Structure 1
Amino acid sequence: MNTTARRWTQRPADSTWGDWGADDQLGRLNLITPAKVLEGLREAREGRTFCLSLPLDCPGNRVLNPRRAPPHLQPTVRGELPNMTYPLSRDNASLTDVICDDTVTLALQYSTQWDSLAHMGQWFDADGDGQPEMCFYNGFRAGEDVIGPLDYRHEKAGEPLPATDRAPGAYRLGIENMAATCVQGRAVMVDLKRQFGAVPLRVGYDELREAMEAQHVVVEPGDMLCLRTGLDEALLDVYRTQNGKALEGGFAGLDGRDEALRRWIVDSNVAALISDNVAVEFLPAAPSDDARYPSHPLHDLCLFRLGVHLGELWHLSELADWLHAHGRNRFLLTAPPLRLPRAVGSPVTPVATV
C-alpha cells in the first residue's frame, strides 16, 4: 500500500487513497477484475435483459433538484433551417434523402446516472500542516485537478477569486475514466421495498443485514450492490401524470451516519453502490455531533474516501420483481457511462442480463 502519494502526506480514515497507486482514478472499480467479469457472465443463464434506466427526461420537471432542468432536445441547423425531416432535394433536386439530426442540452445527473469520484470532495488536511485543502479522492485538488469557473480555495471577505484560464471540469477523476473500464461485472440486488415497504426509512446496518439475510443475499469483494426502494415506480407515475403526490411519502435510503453500516461498506469491498432513489443515502442525513461534518456522509465515505462510485435513480423494480420470482438475487450488469472527458457525472443506460 502506498501511503506517500505525491499529493498528500496523510490520508483520511477508512480510505483507499494510494492503494492502487499515486495516480489512481478508479478506486474500487479496480476490484472488478477479469475474474469478477466472468463471475458476472455466469449469472447470465437465460439471456433475458432488463433496461435499468428511467427515461432520461423523467420525471419531467425540477421536483428532484431545482438546479437540474429536464433535457432540451432540438434540431441542428442546416443553413438557417432546422435539420429535421429536411429534404436534401431542397438543395439538389436529384437527391432523395430526408435528414434528421438533433442536439440536446442535458443536465448529466438529471435522471439515471453515475456519480464520478469528482462529484463530491471535502475540506481535508492532506498536507498534514494543520490547514485543510479542498480535496477529492486520492488527494486530487480543487483548482488544480478539478477546476471551477471560480476559485474558492482562497476566499477573502467571502469573495471567490477568478479561476485559471482552463475550462471548468474534472481534469482528474472525470467520468471518462469509469467509462474506459466498461463497468461490467456481477451485481447483487437487495430489495428494501419487499422487506420494509415503500417507506421513508433510514437503513442502517441492522436493517440492511435483516434484508440480506431474509433474501439470502451474499455480497463479495468486487460486487456491485443494487438497492431497490420503489422510488423508480413513483417517478414513472409522476412522469406519466406530472402529479408529484406519488413522492410525498418518501422512500428508503442508506443511513450514512450509521457507524456499523459504514464499517460494513469499508469491510465488504463492494465495488459500487446503486439505488433507484435520489442519492443512495437518506437525505437530509441524521444530525452529527461533530463541529464540522459532511452533509452527505455516504458520499463522503464512498466518493471521497473509498473510491466507490454511486449510481442513482436507476430503474430497478422490474428486475427486482423478476429476480424474486425466480429465487435469484445476482445478475450480470453492464453499465458504462458516457465517455465524456472532464464530466463529474453521466447519464447511463444500464443493462442487466439474467
Structure 2
Amino acid sequence: MSTDQESRPGRGPRQSPAEFEALYAALRRRATGAGGSPARIPPACVRAAAGEIRSGRTVTLAAPVETRSAPDNPQPAGHRLTGPSEDEALALGLHFATDRFGMNVHGDADSHLDALCHVVWNGTLHGGVSAASLTPEGATALSVELARDGIVGRGVLLDIPRLRGVPWLDPGDHVTAADLLAAERSQDVRVGEGDLLFVRVGHRRRRTESGPWNAAETRAGLHPAAMELLAERRVAALGGDGNNDTAPSLTDGVEFPVHVLGVHALGLYLLDYLQFEDLVPLCEEEGRWSFFCVVAPLRLPRATGSPVNPIAIL
C-alpha cells in the first residue's frame, strides 16, 4: 500500500534483513539519479521556491561548531588562533588575527552534509560506483564537490514533537511515515518534488536542556520504511536535528538503514545534526512551515562531506 494512504501515527515494526533488502531494491528502482549522478532539483522547482520569500527574514539551521569534548563529541573540532602574537597584538601598525580549524566532519554533534560517496554498501557507492573510488587521497567520485553550486529549493519543516505534544522524542524513539503525514495535516503543508525536507525530533533541545549524551548509542530518528514516502514525493534532501537514523537501529544487521536507503539507494543529500530551535518560532509566528532554503557546503575536492550552515529565508 502507498505510504500516502497510511494516516495513523504510531510505532513501526522492526525490519528483518530480507525486508530491508526488498525496500532497498524498491527505492533503488525509484532513484532519479543515473550512473552515480545525484538527483537534481529542477530549475522550475527552484524558481517556484523563490515565491516562499515573503517577510525576508533569515535564520540559520546549523548549530555552533563544538570545540569542547562531550559524550557525543569525543573528537571535538580544533580551533587555534595563529596570529597575531602577543607582542604584535599590542604593537602599533597593522596586524591580522588568523586561525586554523580541524574537525571530524561526520561526528555526532556538528551540523554537516553527507556527500554521496559517504555511504558504502556491498562494495559500492550510489549508482553502482565502485568503492575503489575512495582512495587515501580522497574520493575520486561523488565527492561533496558535486554540490558546489549549492542545494537550493523549498524547505519544509515537519515538527514531530509539536505533533505529539512533547518537547522532544526520547532517544530510541522513531518517526514513521504516518507521523510525517500527520505532521503535514497538522501544519497545513505538503512535501513535494524537489523539496528539502527537514524533520525535527527535538534532539538539539534535549541536548541543550538535559546535556549531551552518547548519541551514537541511542537517539531518535526516522523509521527506515518512512523513506518510501520521501521517494514517492521525490524530495531532494533530508535534514534532521539528529542523525536521521534511529539508534539502536530498527533493522537487524544494518546500523544506519536510513543512510543506506537515502544516500546509497536514492541519491539524497543528508544533513545531520542541524538545529531548528531558531526556525520553529518564526514558522509559528508566520503561520507557515515552508520557506526558501540555501545549503552551501564548502568546496572540498574529494571530501566525503562538509560542515554546513543552511539558511532558511521566510
Q: Secondary structure at the match of 1:181?
A: coil
1:14 aligns with 2:14: no
Q: 5+ residue gaps in structure 2?
A: 1-23
Match of 2:14 in 1: none
Match of 1:175 in 2: 144
- Counterpart amino acid of residue 14 in structure 1: L
- Counterpart amino acid of residue 224 in structure 1: L
Aligned-residue offset at 1:14: 2.1
Check whether the contact 2:121–2:264 (CA below 8 A) recurs between aligned residues.
yes
1:98 aligns with 2:95: yes
Mapped to 2, the partners of 1:174 and 1:17 lie a distance apart of: 22
- Which of 274, 280, 305 is the equivalent residue of 2:239? 274
Aligned-residue offset at 1:176: 1.5
Aligned-residue offset at 1:113: 0.7
Q: Secondary structure at the match of 1:304?
A: helix
- CA separation of 1:342 and 1:62: change in aligned 2, threshold 3 A: farther
Mapped to 2, the partners of 1:209 and 1:88 lie a distance apart of: 57
- CA separation of 1:118 and 1:326: change in aligned 2, threshold 3 A: same
User: TM-score when scaled to structure 2?
Assistant: 0.82
Mapped to 1, the partners of 2:73 and 2:116 lie a distance apart of: 20
Match of 1:127 in 2: none
Deviations 1:188-219 (A, max 9, x none): 11011111221223111122212221212201
User: TM-score when scaled to structure 1?
Assistant: 0.73
Superposition pairs of residues 94-243 of structure 1, within 5 angstroms: 96-110=93-107, 111-123=110-122, 134-143=123-132, 145-148=133-136, 167=137, 169-178=138-147, 180-196=148-164, 197=166, 198-200=168-170, 201-237=173-209, 243=211
Match of 1:305 in 2: 265
Check whether the contact 1:121–1:303 (CA below 8 A) recurs between aligned residues.
no
Check whether the contact 1:17–1:139 (CA below 8 A) recurs between aligned residues.
no
Aligned-residue offset at 1:280: 0.9
Match of 2:19 in 1: none
Check whether the contact 1:84–1:102 (CA below 8 A) recurs between aligned residues.
no
Superposition pairs of residues 283-302 of structure 1, within 5 angstroms: 283-288=247-252, 293-302=253-262
- Which structure has more helix as a fraction of its residues? 2
Match of 1:75 in 2: 81
Q: 5+ residue gaps in structure 1?
A: 1-10, 77-81, 124-133, 149-166
Deviations 1:207-236 (A, max 9, x none): 221222121220111000011122122334
Match of 2:279 in 1: 319
Deviations 1:93-142 (A, max 9, x none): xx71122111112112340111111111211xxxxxxxxxx100011112
- Which of 8, 29, 52 is the equivalent residue of 2:61? 52
Check whether the contact 2:220–2:247 (CA below 8 A) recurs between aligned residues.
no
Query: RMSD value over aligned CA atoms?
Result: 2.6
Check whether the contact 1:172–1:342 (CA below 8 A) recurs between aligned residues.
yes
Check whether the contact 1:190–1:228 (CA below 8 A) recurs between aligned residues.
yes
Q: Secondary structure at the match of 1:299?
A: helix
Give the length in aligned residue pairs.
Answer: 283
Aligned-residue offset at 1:41: 1.4
Mapped to 1, the partners of 2:87 and 2:62 lie a distance apart of: 31
Mapped to 1, the partners of 2:251 and 2:213 lie a distance apart of: 27
